[in-house]
Structure formats: C-alpha cells, structure tokens
Structure 1
Amino acid sequence: MIKHLLVLISFVTLISCSTDGMDTVAENNPDETPIATELYFPSTTSAEWETLSETELNWNTNTGTELQTYLEEQNTKAFIILKNGKIVNEWYFNNFEADDSWYWASAGKTLTAFTVGIAQEKGYLDIADKTSDYLGTGWTSLTKEQEDKITIENQLTMTSGMDENAFTCVSSDCLNYIADAGNRWAYHNGPYTLLQDVVANATATNYNSFFNTELKSRIGMDGFWLNTEATNNVYFSTARSMARFGLLILNKGTWAEDPILEGQAFFEAMTTSSQNLNPAYGYLWWLNGKSTYMLPSSQEVFNGSLITTAPNDLISALGKNDQKLYVVPSENLVIIRLGDAANAENFALSTFDTDLWQLLSTYMGLD
C-alpha cells in the first residue's frame, strides 16, 4: 500500500436511520423474497460489509460482464455499486487493490461542502457571512467594496465573480475582479480551496482536525488530505471510504442513527440548484435532470440534462480524470469509480459518464 501511495503522491503533484420506501426488486418475480429498501450501514470499526447479489436484484448478469470488461478497458482502478447500502459489485483493476488509496480530485469538494455545513450547524459560521470576516480584508486583489460582496455561499456555488484563469492560485494577486459576486458562475479552485481556511479560522482549529473529528471518524472513513502545489488540498482514500460518504449523502447526512448533519436546510440547499446561472450545480455537487448546465473552463450554457443516460435525480461528485461518486436517491444507489482518465484528461464531466450510465441503466433495468 505504501508503494501505491508514493506513486499517487508523485502523480498528483505532477498533474495538479434509514430511508422510507417499500420498493422491492421482486415485482416481476413474485416467488422471490422481496428486498426491502431500508438502508444498511456497515460498522465504523470493522471491515465487514454486507452484500447483495445481482441475481437477488434481478439485474442483467450478461450486461454485468460487459460492464466489468468496459471498466477495466477504460483505465478504472476501483468500482463499487451499493444498493440499499449493501455491496453488489466491488471490482479492482489495473494493479490496484482494495486497501490502496487513490485521489478524489475535485470530487473531494463535496467533503468540504459537507464540512462547511457542519461548521454552520454548530454555530461557528453562517454561509451568508462575508468571506473577509474569516480571511481578513485583502484576501483578494479587489476593492473592499467588491470583496465585501463575496460570501461563503458564493465560494460554495462558484459565484465569487473572480477571474478563474489562475485556476488553483489562492494568493490575493491572482484573485482578480471580473463581476460582482453572484452575477457570474465560473468553476474556480482558488476560492473553493480557501473554504478550508474559512472553516479553520471559524472553528479556531486545524481544518483536518475538524474534518476528522466531525465527519471522517464518525462514519468510519479512512484517508487523508494532501496539500500539493499543483492542485491545492486533495483527498485520498480507499474506494470503500468514498462509498461510505456516498451512503451518508444517500441518507441525507445521517449515518445509521447518528445525525452527522442534523438540520436538513443546509443539506437540501447543498443538493439542489444553488443559483440560476448554472442550475446543474449545488454546493460543490453536480446535479442531473436540470434544463441547462455549464461546465468548467467555459461560459457556454448547454441545454438539457447533464448526463442524459442517468436518472434525473442523480447527484454527483465529479473529479479530474473521471473520479466519480454517484448518488441516486430514487434507486437507493451509490456508485464509485476511481482511476485514470477513461478517454482524455478532463476536469469533471466527460463522455465516459454518458457511456457508463448507458451500461449501468441496462444492467440494473433502469431504462
């Protein structure tokens, strides 16, 4: 495992409780025992994790074989499907093993969004507050009047209004004015990364310590934040730890009977359209099923749903080179994909999402 971590660190430095519902999977097979939709949660202190078989779920096993081959050919390292919280598929490819860690890239933004929600819930901050309340005046190169319009919520929604050309830079001299906060959506790592400083200053503690105590340890995740010059603060973990976080999101912030994020107001805001400029974006989460969407490194507005082959209620954590965390509430699904880029390097969305979901929909009988 240490060998893999050293390789990953070098690589990244270079590239920068339960839910209600009575659905069953036996509607067309009345002789089979129905599988309830109540969510299962694995222990936070052991590696034990209950499973379901694709046969029990009446999924298409032939397509499952095709899916597995496709994933391996597309440079996948880890792939997990959870149904009702239980593991249906857990596959590792391309010299990668279950206890190896891999980087989340920008999919890890969702961890920070959730942590901001915890900090607000505990009274350390309010996302309506000016960012300068926590970073001090002059954290940008803007005038004080321009800077004072930027709130924590603007950082969460990519609407700070600052120039994103110096994409990962967090120094004041590369945080330059383009528009008043709230009037322009642009995917920008700099203001996002500074959210972790906001949390640290608001809580008067180290960001990693707050994250570990309030989120990571409470749901049994492993992993660590690695600060790199190229990509700022990036999270690494095993695939199962990403699946744990996805399960937490599926259950709206509660792990089994432990409410990690007690109030639902922040959770609902985080996972719904956060502004009108790009309705396919929440608080650092990507949202399917909206009428239009925007993408990183572009001001173009595209018509239609983000991933046309996926369920409309899909919410996604998307990271560079096809790091994927998909959550589908209507189907009680969590799906994880980690690895190298499937086709070509990308920031978040790629054609891989569409192709993968076409296979998944056929495999699970969703189309």
Structure 2
Amino acid sequence: MRYLFACLISAIIFISCKKDSTTPDTSAPQTMYFPPNNGSTWETTSMTALNWNQNAIQPLKDYLQLKNTKSFMILVNGRIVLEEYFNGHNATATSAWNSAGKTLVTAAVGIAQQEGLVNINNKVSDYLGTGWTSEPLAKENLITLKHLLTMTSGINDESNLVIKPNLTYLADAGTRWSYHNVFQKLMDVVGEAGNQAYETYFNNKLRNKIGMDGSWNEGLIFTIYHSNTRSMARFGLLALNKGKWGNEQVLNETFFTASVTSSQNINPSYGYLWWLNGKTNFMVPGGQTVYPGALVPNAPMDMYAAMGAGDQRIYVVPSKKMVVVRMGDASDPANPSFALSGFDNELWQKINAVIQ
C-alpha cells in the first residue's frame, strides 16, 4: 500500500512539473473584453503578465513627452496595459481627432448602408441633388459615395475648404487619388438620408452604442470630432473587432473589412478613409508622389490606422489583438507631413522595444 501511495504521489509531482514547464502563462486574459458603456470601470492587464520588457517603458514615455504627446494608451484584448497623460492633460480632458475622425464618418456611412438608407455605389447627387459641386453635370454625376470614401473624387484639390466654388473639376472620378476634405459631404449624405442632423444619427447609431463621449465641432476647414482619450480607444476596440461591440454587430463586418482593404490601385495604402500598412507603396496628403514600401515599416504589417494632423493616431493591430492611441500636438511642428516626419516609425521602434 505504501508503495502504491508513493507511486501515486510521484506521478502527481511529475504531472505537475510537466504542466508547469509546458503550459503557457494564462495570467493575462485571452478573451476579448469590452468596457461597460457607463462608468469608469475598465479592466487592465499587467505588462508582467504579457512578458513585456519593462526596462523599455521609460524610454517610450520619455519619447512621448518629448514629442508633445497629451495622452497615450495601449490595449491588448480590450484591456488597458498602459495609460499615460502628459503636459497637464488628463483622463477627462478632450482633444481634437482632426483627420483621424474621418474613420468615424466611414463607420456612420457603413451603418447607414446596412440600414438601407444609402448605397456607397450610388451617385452623391442622388442624396444631395445635382449642383452640389461646380463641376459640369456629367462629371459631377460620376462621383459616388465610394469615391468620397476613397479620396478618388477627382475634385480639384487646390483648396481643402469645402465650399461649392472650390469643388471644381480636375479629373474623372476614380482616376486620381488625392487627399481632400470633400469627404465631409458624406456627413451631409447621411443626414439627408436619415432625415436628421448627422450628429444625431452618429450619436444614436455609433457613439452611444460603444460608450464614447465627445462631439462634432465645426473647425476652420472641416467639422472635427473632439473626445477624451478613452473614447478614442473605444472606437479603436470596435475597429479591432471588425465592427462588433460585445454581442452587438454595430457595423457590418463585410463593410468594415472593405474599409481596411486597399480600395483602389492608385494608393494601395488607403481604404475607406483608413490608412493601411504593409502595402507595396503609398501616397501622402498634399502631393502625387508615390513612395515605395510600407507606410510605417517598423509597425506590424497588418496594422491599419486612423491618422490626423498633429499626429492624432489610432493604430489597430489584429495579429497582436492590440489598439494603440496617441493624442497630442504635432511631434515636429516644422515637418507636418505625417508619413514623412518619421514620427510613426520612431514611435513604433519604441513600442517594439516594449512588446517584443
């Protein structure tokens, strides 16, 4: 009996030791988490549980502060791993998304399409009436909602001020990629199709569904979204989950997938107002130069991003179940071209030192 008991104990010890040496660390939750829509509760995951290099955290923070950052967050599986505020900014303070907010408009258009209010392959004039541009009617009628989503309207890009006298013909829709604020006509389309103010539709169908705060404020050039940092992270989490929030598919997955896929061959690094990494070449706002290689070489190749002036960023990385948010002022005010300033690449070098 003693022999059998000793053998049993030995077997248990052997099994336990084997499990300890081969079973992956499960201290970091692997399930996707969505923070509740009300209240300040948001689960966290420690860097220790993720086996991240904590010695690289301070250099990352130092870099962020040096580069005029207001706030920075990293989520993994929806849980906060890092949340930092700089230069007097705090968790309740709001800041402008700038052009990163274009992706919010994409989502609103997608929701309007799934509700049968719009079809992105239809002419813009079907919703706004003819004469919404100063183009010849035949040329105006070439412009669809999809052309506005993909920056291929062909409208003259000499001015980003979206008033009718500036909306003149430069090229046939679909033949030229050019970054232009005419995208905001999509907001008018959604409002007209929904028979309500665009912001009312946006709040009911998107903002309130995922617990964001914030509002649309008319700026000098176009209407800009302002929110706190966690609201930006919430939208990034929705994007990570292809339009799903908890058990609800807020935005159709097929539409979202198309949004983060090359939308045309002229600039393969652009989807529906989303920037895409890992493509063969890219173009940037303000020019027609085609640059070889990935948009952000140091970032994961499957990353897609919402990018705005002043280096407002939402990076979404499906392969790492990760969302990264940066709000602040321009990292280099003397070099505002976001893709050529080097900021994104340098930032990802610092992030990689932490997560790898």
Normalised to the residue count of structure 1, the TM-score between the two structures is 0.89
Residue 198 in structure 1 maps to residue 189 in structure 2 = yes
Which residue is 1:11 aligned to? none
Residue 84 in structure 1 maps to residue 77 in structure 2 = yes
Shift of 1:31: 7.1
Residue 44 in structure 1 maps to residue 37 in structure 2 = yes
Does the CA-based 8 Å contact 1:321-1:347 persist in structure 2? Answer: no
Which residue is 1:74 aligned to? 67
Does the CA-based 8 Å contact 1:37-1:332 persist in structure 2? Answer: no
CA deviations over 1:126-175 (Å, ceiling 9, x no partner): 000100111111111111110000000000000000111111x2222101
Shift of 1:265: 2.0
Which residue is 2:325 aligned to? 336
Q: 1:303 aligns with which of 266, 274, 292?
A: 292
Alignment of 1:316-331 (within 5 A): 316-331=305-320
Q: Secondary structure at the match of 2:148?
A: helix
Q: Structure 1 residues 347, 234: CA separation in 2 closer, same or farther (over 3 Å shift)?
A: farther
Q: 1:231 aligns with which of 218, 221, 232?
A: 221
Does the CA-based 8 Å contact 1:319-1:347 persist in structure 2? Answer: no
Matches of 2:268 and 2:258, distance apart in 1:
12
Which residue is 2:170 aligned to? 178
Residue 164 in structure 1 maps to residue 157 in structure 2 = yes
Residue 258 in structure 1 maps to residue 248 in structure 2 = yes
CA deviations over 1:289-332 (Å, ceiling 9, x no partner): 00010000010011100000000000000000100100000000
Matches of 1:264 and 1:52, distance apart in 2:
27
Which structure has the greater CA radius of gyration?
A: 2
Which residue is 1:54 aligned to? 47
Q: 2:115 aligns with which of 122, 130, 134?
A: 122
RMSD across aligned positions (CA): 1.4
Matches of 2:337 and 2:201, distance apart in 1:
28
Shift of 1:240: 0.2
Gaps of 5+ in 2: 1-19
Q: 1:315 aligns with which of 304, 308, 326?
A: 304
Report how many residues are paired: 335
Q: 2:179 aligns with which of 174, 187, 193?
A: 187
Does the CA-based 8 Å contact 1:106-1:348 persist in structure 2? Answer: no
Q: 2:209 aligns with which of 218, 221, 245?
A: 218
Does the CA-based 8 Å contact 2:28-2:45 persist in structure 1? Answer: no
Shift of 1:242: 0.2
Matches of 1:136 and 1:123, distance apart in 2:
19
Residue 148 in structure 1 maps to residue 137 in structure 2 = no
Does the CA-based 8 Å contact 1:79-1:335 persist in structure 2? Answer: yes
Does the CA-based 8 Å contact 1:80-1:91 persist in structure 2? Answer: yes
Q: Secondary structure at the match of 1:307?
A: coil
Gaps of 5+ in 1: 1-26
Matches of 2:123 and 2:190, distance apart in 1:
13
Matches of 1:303 and 1:321, distance apart in 2:
24
Which residue is 2:125 aligned to? 132
Does the CA-based 8 Å contact 2:299-2:345 persist in structure 1? Answer: yes
Q: Secondary structure at the match of 2:46?
A: coil
CA deviations over 1:14-41 (Å, ceiling 9, x no partner): xxxxxxxxxxxxx998574353432101
Shift of 1:46: 1.3
Which residue is 1:23 aligned to? none
Residue 357 in structure 1 maps to residue 348 in structure 2 = yes
Matches of 1:98 and 1:28, distance apart in 2:
41
Q: Structure 1 residues 250, 159: CA separation in 2 closer, same or farther (over 3 Å shift)?
A: same
Which residue is 1:275 aligned to? 264
Stretch moving more, 211-220 or 134-143: 134-143
Shift of 1:215: 0.2
